[in-house]
Amino acid sequence: MEAVAVLVFALLVISQMASPVSALSLNYYDQTCPKLESAVTEAVKKATMNDNTVPAALLRMHFHDCFIRGCDASVLLASKGTNQAEKDGPPNISLHAFYVIDNAKKAVEALCPGVVSCADILALAARDAVALSGGPTWDVPKGRKDGRISKASETRQLPPPTFNISQLKQSFSKRGLSLEDLVALSGGHTLGFAHCSSFQNRIHSFNATLDVDPTLNPSFGNSLRSVCPAHNKVKNAGATMDSSATTFDNVYYKLLLQGKSLFTSDQALLSTGKTMNLVSKFASSQKMFEKAFVKSMIKMSSISGGQEIRLDCKVVR
């Protein structure tokens, strides 16, 4: 769930994004596609066995989908003609593992053609990604529809890693998400990898007088600078989001309290009493973090979205 891009045109789709989908239900497909969840889990499990970066990719993909026009699988649509789709927007260029959703969709279509939305498959895959990484599992409310509109320009609404707490609060609030949701969902950074460009602002030319962000642990900052020099030319250079980047745990919060976070937006969680207390709570108890994370994931994944069921996740019907 690496945060990237700039939130500029946030008001464009607020009316669509701030309200939960009223039709969601835990047993939505019980009669029409009873083997749905096992088919999705199998696709995610198979991919993860071959590539341990898949869970982080799927979790981030779901987050990026829900923050633009709601959870409608618009992030999966391919660019067509003159229209650049979300997946080709600057913050989404590094998204990967779309093939996992395509494979899950094919398996589900073989079981129950034309019944299950790509948006529901992505929500289930994100849940499975967390569970297969050692994190919690939960019952996913289902019944989302797929969207028809996908614009790269709208990815500017995604909160970038340079946001301060006020900007983060505004971004999440416009989607009906609270400060607790912000801190809990930031825990998704326990999985994955960040490119140098996402935290370059903290380790080079931080301000007029300091080269490095003084809130960074000095030795940690030096290690980042060695991996990401000022004029880095290595395309895939970067750092893991925490020291156990393929395991879903609360190490992210523990490192945050030690000055060992990557993003400005991570460090921002320590800038208010309320958010700092939540960070401390989650750092001290993985159980409390997992409970809050599940609650916030269900809330975020219920942001309203599309209108149809796509037979191919890359193409509108």
Both structure tokens of 144: 């989302």
Tokens 């500029």 belong to which residue?
8
Q: Using alpha carbons, select from 25, 1, 71 the residue that is nearest to residue 302.
A: 71
Per the annotation, does 244 bind a ligand?
A: no
Cα separation, 102 vs 97, whole angstroms: 9
Which pTM value belongs to this model?
0.92
Q: What is the pLDDT of residue 213?
A: 98
In the set 62, 64, 195, 204, the catalytic residue is 64
The secondary structure of 174-199, three-state, reads CCCCCHHHHHHHHHHHHCCEEEHHHC
Per the annotation, does 266 bind a ligand?
A: no
Cα separation, 261 vs 253, whole angstroms: 9
Cα separation, 197 vs 175, whole angstroms: 26
Q: What is the pLDDT of residue 173?
A: 98
DSSP 21: -
Containing H/E element for 239?
A: strand 238-240
Across the chain, which has 317 residues, the per-10-residue mean pLDDT values are 36 39 85 98 98 98 98 97 96 97 98 98 98 98 97 98 98 98 98 96 97 98 97 93 96 98 98 98 98 98 93 91
Active site residue 64: yes
Cα separation, 58 vs 76, whole angstroms: 11
Q: Using alpha carbons, select from 142, 57, 41, 183 the residue that is nearest to residue 65.
A: 57
Q: What is the pLDDT of residue 22?
A: 52
| Bridge partners, 194 (sequence order) | 239
Per the annotation, does 72 bind a ligand?
A: yes
Q: What is the pLDDT of residue 210?
A: 97
